[in-house]
Amino acid sequence: RRSRVCVFTGVEVSRSLSEKCVSKCHYAMASLGASFVQIKFDDILFYENCGGGSFGSVYRARWLSQDKEVAVKKLLKIEKEAEILSVLSHRNIIQFYGAVLEAPNYGIVTEYASGGSLFDYLSSAESEDISMKQIMTWAMDIARGMHYLHAEAPLTICDFGASKFQSHTTHMSLVGTFPWMAPEVIQSLPVSETCDTYSYGVVLWEMLTREVPFKGLEGLQVAWLVVEKSERLTIPSSCPASFACLMRSCWLTEPKDRPLFKHILSTLESMWSDSHLTEECNTFLHNKAEWSRCEIEATLERLKRLERDLSTKEQELKERERRLKMWERKLIEQSNTPVSLCLSLTAAHGGLDSSL
């Protein structure tokens, strides 16, 4: 199985980094079509919906005139995405075929990855037999695709963010899934290509553990834990040191400290040639029942308790704020009591005292 990076918006249709987002950049419709094939809407036979994201829905379909199975992302309008995809060419990148430009039936037509998503595979019983060789193959394929996007393609693509025809650091829109998002992306801070490095580390963790990142926690809970508490996914203590070191480096808080994909590839190549690592990794994979329950699940429970404690403290603070507001209202009411009334009450009180 060849692993490919999919640059469809918010859709996992290849065993790759998930949810690539393409920026919304307006430009004249007249400029479309010059660099890619325009496909007629009636030349597409649509089958089932196989995914969706913030910018459109993706369908399995057949390109009738070419007798080819394809994936089609339906859009409300065509913007820069077709132009961006048309300049990409790499064996580990989903191939772009063309675009449908007939209003209102806009769409992007690409290669269909029949193997399904990495997420679905890792959730299946089939993944129980996964080996280090398979993990290394996919890890290197994904890294090669990402290195191409970052260093060789004439654009920058940031996971869960924006694509632009430029290479400098840029802002990204908050689109994506929190467990895969780098802290700076969650905070909508300026980002660089190493936000993809962070996401890559999460995908590597998924392949090694066959677990769902931050399983059982809501997205905003994950965002708070990652940003405010600097929490990261649990790396089991028995995980081979080289894998553990690579993942930790991908998750460093400071973006400039994370490795670029050319360095990740170099690290993976060194790991591939390590004869002892294969046995160590396969032993780790086959002993999942031991470390999954003892370490990953235990950490998730700790994080849930931490979040519950935070919720309790928030409720306590809200109750305190409510009581303070009540006290403030009472003070205001007292300060608004008429002076004459106060004097009368004081005099009456004094007369009563003297009579006593």
- Number of domains the chain is built from: 2
Rounded percentage of the chain residues whose pLDDT exceeds 70: 74
User: Is 82 among the domain residues?
Assistant: yes
Based on the domain organization, do 226 and 261 belong to the same domain? Answer: yes
User: Is 325 among the domain residues?
Assistant: no
User: Is 122 among the domain residues?
Assistant: no
User: Do the Cβ atoms of 265 and 141 come closer than 8 Å?
Assistant: no
Based on the domain organization, do 196 and 63 belong to the same domain? Answer: no
Based on the domain organization, do 192 and 226 belong to the same domain? Answer: yes
Based on the domain organization, do 301 and 171 belong to the same domain? Answer: yes
Q: What is the mean pLDDT of residues 236-241?
A: 94
pLDDT for residue 23 is more than 50:
no
Residue-number span of the structural domain to which 149 is assigned: 130-308
User: Is 313 among the domain residues?
Assistant: no
Question: Token digits for 338?
Answer: 């008429």
pLDDT at 316: 66
SS3 content of the chain, % helix, strand, coil (to 5): 50, 15, 35
Based on the domain organization, do 89 and 134 belong to the same domain? Answer: no
User: Do the Cβ atoms of 93 and 5 come closer than 8 Å?
Assistant: yes
Q: What is the pLDDT of residues 98-120, one digit of tens each?
A: 999 999 999 999 999 888 888 88
Q: What is the pLDDT of residues 196-234, one digit of tens each?
A: 999 999 999 999 999 999 988 888 888 888 998 899 999
pLDDT for residue 313 is more than 80:
no
Based on the domain organization, do 69 and 148 belong to the same domain? Answer: no
Q: Tell me the CATH number at 169.
A: 1.10.510.10
pLDDT at 162: 36
pLDDT at 265: 97
| Distance, C-alpha 58 to centroid of its chain | 18
β-partners of residue 107 are: 74, 100
Is the bond preceding 104 in cis, omega lying within 30 degrees of 0? yes
User: Is 332 among the domain residues?
Assistant: no
pLDDT at 22: 32
Based on the domain organization, do 188 and 300 belong to the same domain? Answer: yes
CA atoms of 250 and 353, how far apart (whole Å): 80
Q: What is the pLDDT of residues 258-278, one digit of tens each?
A: 999 999 999 999 999 998 999
**What one-character-per-residue DSSP string does 177-205 give?**
-GGGS-HHHHTT--B-THHHHHHHHHHHH
User: Is 286 among the domain residues?
Assistant: yes
CA atoms of 78 and 293, how far apart (whole Å): 47
Indicate the SS3 state at residue 6: coil
What's the pTM? Answer: 0.73
Indicate the SS3 state at residue 154: coil
**Burial class (CB within 10 angstroms; exposed 0-12, middle 13-18, buried 19+) of 183:** buried
